[in-house]
Structure 1
Amino acid sequence: MSRDDWTFCPWDGSQSLSRQDWPALDAGKLTLDAPDVHLQVFRESRLAARASLWTGFQADGPATGMIGHYAAESLEAGRALLQAACRRLRDAGCARVIGPIDGSTWKPYRLVSDAGSEAPFLLEPINPHAWNQHFLESGFGVLASYHSALSVNPAPDPKMPAVRARLSASGVSTRAADPARLDAELAAIHELALDSFSRNLLYSPLSRGDFLALYRPLLSRLPAGFTRIAEHQGQAVGFAFAAPDLLRPQNDTLIVKTVGVRRGRLYAGLGRLLAEELHELARRARLPRVIHALMHDDNVSAKTSAHTSTVIRRYALYSRLLPE
């Protein structure tokens, strides 16, 4: 199919952004995520593919553009869109492009690359497997790999009493977040997250206002106790949050979504302790299944989880260099 078979146009506020078979995207989300342009591909007046583009991300290495809000009905439409997106990003001065990522790693990113046999769970990306091929056949390669892992009836970790005693002796304590002080709790978590995630791949800072707007709706709906905070000398030094899997009708699964700990030898083991507290909450709530979600294959929590869990899903993030 030739390039002339497609109609390319930036979104002007009038065209549809989504289709029933695609991840939802509306004008509000588009405004919040603030791409430089939202590009659409039509064939015979039918929306065939869409993506948003961001420029100007600067990390170690070349100037980088990002492709997010991605959806396409076919390989041909996806390739046409990705080729057009790469041309626009190259013309904007980018030497590398990464996708799919909705502007930053604080927002949705990655594609499910191996769905396994488990049904999709709350808070993970959902996409047709073919979208991976769209990127691969458009000159992209895998930049980073991730996975989610399932533990069934995880036993208490026998090392954690000693870890808790050591941390307690140093003045570190843990508690449930106070829902009556949600904004204050989130502000403390935000400051800590900026520190604990600063070495992550593609890290970029997020303002406190944007952080609250992103996480307040989610955390306000979680049952009491499923957001944990660790403190030392009056400052937050660790956090973890989890959510029951509301997509699973059996109501038997807890999803451990995010764990962050301040760097430093004093806090060694704190992330595992917070995860263990979430496991204990799952046992009390009679949730026998615990999913540790969306872990980078090489991070510490993934290596710890591997001893007691089974990988149920894999994800990929793609990149390619752009010609000069």
Structure 2
Amino acid sequence: MAIQSLPLYSPNLAVLEELHERIYGKTQQQQEAIARYRRYLATFNPYLSEIDSIQFIFNKEGNALAHLVVAIHPEHKDIGIIGFFEAEDKTSAAALLKHACSHLQRKGCRKIRGPIDLSTWHSYRYISGIQKTKSMLDPLHLPWYAGTWANQGFREVAWFVSAVRTDFSYIIPFTKQGHDTALEAGFGIRQFDRKHATRELRILHGISSKIFTDSWNHSPISLSSFYFIYEPYLSFLQEQYLLFLEDSRRNPVGFCFALPEKGNPKRLILKTLGVLSEYRKQGLAAALLHAIHVRAQEDGFAECYYPFILEGNAVTKFPYEGYTMVSSYVAYERFADNNILS
């Protein structure tokens, strides 16, 4: 048995691809996950030049049994990240996870978090509750992975839920007052301009960086890395579902990003919603929600799916009829010296 360390670039991903296919079989979800891995772990991903990262592989008798990637952001050198975690069995999984934690401790990290594929701008979290329906944004992993993290001293520190709405008859009138009040106060809502996609993504990057700066495990990301993440969405993005909220001087103060789900044309995924902190508690999020749901109803969508709701967010407290929780998710953290957080 041996643990091998390799830099991140495409030729080395063959090991991960073979391991991944052995674990999950060659399904559509597995192929989509591997396509994402190829993109995120390729040399042309600009984010890899912004962080310190390396991949570890657990080998036994010439076979790769487990794989993961560790990363450290230069502005958060005390926090180590573990992601792209895959394993065929619990023994190799535990050994590799332990090795990664030791590596990050030697690098000076005080805390270790995961599962996070490079950053929370990318893919992260495990499913902890039973899924009623699947989304293209849901993580793919074996059910026992979470227990392996817990056995290595990790504890749950961030909780998320997803939900689906099939009845728009309550949310649209419920958010109408916030929408109308915002417009009367001089705010405006405009849609994404595909003809100037680069400019629009620059605006989205700037406002997202401000809105989510206090979010769990937030780390800065360059414009080029942000564009790299969002560029694939442009091929199936519908302009009317990426909305910018602007003040009376046409400065962006919030946005809502939704997109149709691949393979499920009747479902609209409301991926991200946010308003600058100084503009919150004014009903502006409701204005964006109203605009998105009106469009969804007019365009014949049967349901809206909300994939990233941090537990404690106001949206989980709204008394929305037709709003059903789908799945729960979790992320983990531990001290690098193996002491469980109290």
Partner of 2:6: 11
For 1:293, the equivalent position in structure 2 comes to 307
For 2:271, the equivalent position in structure 1 comes to: 257
Q: What pairs up with 1:57-96 in 2 under 5 angstroms?
A: 63-96=78-111
Runs of 5+ consecutive residues of structure 1 not aligned to the other structure = 1-5
Q: Work out whether residues 122 and 247 of structure 1, in 8 Å CA contact, stay in contact via their aligned partners in 2.
A: no
Give the ranges of 4+ consecutive aligned residues of structure 1 lying more than 6 Å apart after TM superposition.
Answer: none
Identify the residue that residue 192 of structure 1 maps to in structure 2: 207
Corresponding residue number in structure 1 for 2:258: 242
Please give the secondary structure, in 2, of the residue aligned with 1:114: coil
Correspondent of 2:38 among 20, 26, 31:
26
- Give the Cα separation in 2 of the matches to 1:77 and 1:277: 49
Is 1:157 the counterpart of 2:172? The answer is: yes
Which amino acid in structure 1 is aligned with residue 67 of structure 2?
A: R
Query: What CA deviation, in whole Å up to 9, does each residue of 1:244-301 have, x standing for no partner?
Result: 12143xx321110001212224772212221222212221221111111121111123
- Partner SS, residue 109 of structure 1: coil
> Tell me, what secondary structure is at the counterpart of 2:337?
coil
Q: Residues of 2 paired with 1:201 and 1:45: CA distance?
A: 39
CA RMSD of aligned residues (A): 2.2
Shift, 1:57, TM fit: 5.9
TM score, norm. by length of structure 2 = 0.85
The CA deviation at 1:305 is: 7.1
Deviation at 1:135, TM superposition (A): 0.8
Shift of 1:49: 0.8
Counterpart in 2 of 1:36?
53
- Partner Cα distance (2:200, 2:295) in 1: 20
- Change in 2 beyond 3 A, CA 1:152/1:266: closer
Task: Give the corresponding residue for 1:99.
Answer: 114
Q: Distance in 1 between matches of 2:288 and 2:240?
A: 12
Q: Secondary structure at the match of 1:40?
A: strand
Q: Is the 8 A contact 1:148 1:291 kept in 2?
A: yes
Q: Secondary structure at the match of 1:225?
A: helix
- 1:308: Cα distance to partner? 4.4
Letter in 1 for 2:175: M
Q: 1:302 to 1:157 in 2, by over 3 A?
A: same
Judging changes above 3 Å, is the alpha-carbon distance between structure 1 residues 320 and 253 closer, same or farther for their aligned structure 2 residues? Answer: same
Q: In structure 1, what is the Cα distance between the partners aligned to 2:146 and 2:320? A: 25
Normalized against structure 1, the TM-score is what?
A: 0.89
- Whether 1:138 aligns to 2:155 is no
Q: What does 1:194-213 correspond to in 2, within 5 Å?
A: 194-213=209-228
Q: Secondary structure at the match of 1:252?
A: strand
Of 276, 288, 292, which aligns to 1:278?
Answer: 292
Identity, in percent, stands at: 24
Q: Give the direction of change, closer, same or farther, for the CA distance of 1:318–1:101 in structure 2 (3 Å limit).
A: same
Q: How far off its partner does 1:28 sit?
A: 6.0
Distance 1:102 1:8 in 2: 20
Q: Distance in 2 between matches of 1:43 and 1:154?
A: 54
- Alpha-carbon separation, structure 2, partners of 1:274 and 1:27: 31
For residues 120-179 of structure 1, the C-alpha deviation after alignment (integer angstroms, 9 at most, x for no partner) is: 212222222111112112211101110101111222432433222321222101021111
What is the match of residue 27 of structure 2? none
